[in-house]
Amino acid sequence: MNHEFPGSGENDISRNTHRHGDIPDILSGEEDFLARILNAIADPVFVKDEEHRRIMVNDAYCSFLGRSREGMMHKTDQDLFSNDQATSFSRDDDKVFESGTGQVCEELVSDRQGEVHTFLTKKTLLVDGSGHRFIVGIARDITVEKNAENALQESREKFSTHITINQDTGVAHSITDVKLDGEALKLANRKLSLLSNITRHDIRNQLLCLRGALELIDKDNLDRQTLELIKMTERSAEKIKDQIEFTKEYEDLGMKEPRWKSVADIIRRAKAQFLISDVAFFLPDEDFELFADPLLEKVFYNLLDNALRHGGKITQITLSCYESNAGLLISMTDNGRGVPVEEKLLIFEKGFGKNTGLGLFLSKEILSITGISIAEKGIFGKGAKFDISVPKGKYRRTGTR
């Protein structure tokens, strides 16, 4: 994205702010310096007002769309994109304006050649000294990662359709097809792993440059609006780092054969990773083993972390197991604040939440490898309750064969 376009030089942001007399306080002050900061960011960055008009874009944004900065000033989504894309972008912007909280959106965006890319866009609400409200967005192109994820999912689905397990004997049928699909899946995984490692390495290098530049900025002589934008950039860099670490964990998902794991052992190891002394833990008398991905311990770690981080003044966490005709139900409950009704499904979506928004999403994915599901069933104000439903054949009492 280093192509030059008419009007995309680093000083054009400041020139545009002088040209439009109605640009408010957010763009005043150290404009030339702010322009250099934004143009140093490799990802597209934009600022829109409440009318969805662009009042600031960086070089990466101009390069991706193949438009001059001057040609995009005060243009709305409808002016620049197809009706479907524009409606989606505006709807996501309105959610930020209405809620006052940031949103992470997965968006389909057409580039200058009309090719559709998948972007993960972080949108944040910013209010200037005069009370004007803006959407500040930074977008990461995840098209390659998304295509790789879809290819892996297709391979998994194809693999699963060729294998049948006799519940009495445990024998797999269609062995020839399974071996062929298994080799194809291993090859796909190796390619995906190589691609992911290269991508992570390149992003880490760019991120290191960005964070280094931010640390070198002399913040003592900057105005309040510029300092706020720098802080927002630093927070975005930290989020990007978290996303990179998540991709490594997600890459390991499903790479190793499922195995039997003791629930009690896993919860004890997960608990040991937290320095807590004022929370009582209660485990069931009877232990069970689950047939699950080796990353199962990460599930219970994430549930504990979620409870301790967001539950408020929790004093008790209880793990219980209940066996029925449908299978095994494992419940982890606490006496914290709980989860609002409108968030019970959203908390398992990637990017949702006050921290990284990845822990519960990863937990759901880990469990789904062997057909295990998770849901939040607590009562808001009385505590959270995560129910893990394990189908028959995927659990056993400790010591059974």
What pLDDT does residue 27 have? 47
Could you tell me the two tokens for 401? 């064969």
Amino acid at 147: N
What pLDDT does residue 9 have? 40
CB-count burial class (<10 Å; 0-12, 13-18, 19+) for 101: exposed
Q: For domain 12-141, give the fold.
A: Beta-Lactamase (3.30.450)
What pLDDT does residue 6 have? 34
* Spatial CB neighbours of 268, under 8 Å, sequence gap ≥ 6: none
Same fold? 12-141, 259-397: no
pLDDT in tens, the chain (401 residues): 333 333 334 344 433 444 444 444 444 445 677 778 888 888 899 999 999 999 899 998 998 888 888 888 899 999 999 899 999 999 999 999 998 888 888 899 988 788 889 998 899 998 888 888 999 999 888 888 787 777 767 666 655 554 444 445 444 444 445 454 555 555 555 555 555 566 666 676 677 777 777 777 777 777 888 888 888 887 777 767 666 665 665 555 555 678 888 888 888 888 887 777 788 888 888 889 998 888 888 888 888 888 888 888 888 999 999 998 889 999 999 998 888 888 888 888 876 666 555 778 888 888 888 889 999 999 988 999 999 999 998 999 885 43
pTM of the model: 0.43
What pLDDT does residue 234 have? 79
What pLDDT does residue 355 have? 56
How many Å apart are CA 97 and CA 92, to the nearest integer? 9
* Ramachandran region, residue 33 (left: φ > 0; alpha: ψ -120 to 50; beta: rest): alpha
Alpha helices, H only, 217-285: 224-252, 263-271
CB burial string 142-171: b at 16+ within 10 A, e below: beebbebbeebeebeeebeebeeeeeeeee
β-strands 373-376, 385-391 pairing: antiparallel
Amino acid at 60: A
What pLDDT does residue 254 have? 56
Amino acid at 229: L
Domain ranges of the chain: 12-141, 144-252, 259-397
46 membership: H or E segment, kind and range: strand 45-49
Residue written as tokens 């967001």? 310
320 membership: H or E segment, kind and range: strand 316-324
What pLDDT does residue 255 have? 59
What pLDDT does residue 20 have? 44
What pLDDT does residue 14 have? 37
How many Å apart are CA 106 and CA 103, to the nearest integer? 10
What pLDDT does residue 332 have? 92
CATH number of 259-397: 3.30.565.10
What pLDDT does residue 5 have? 34
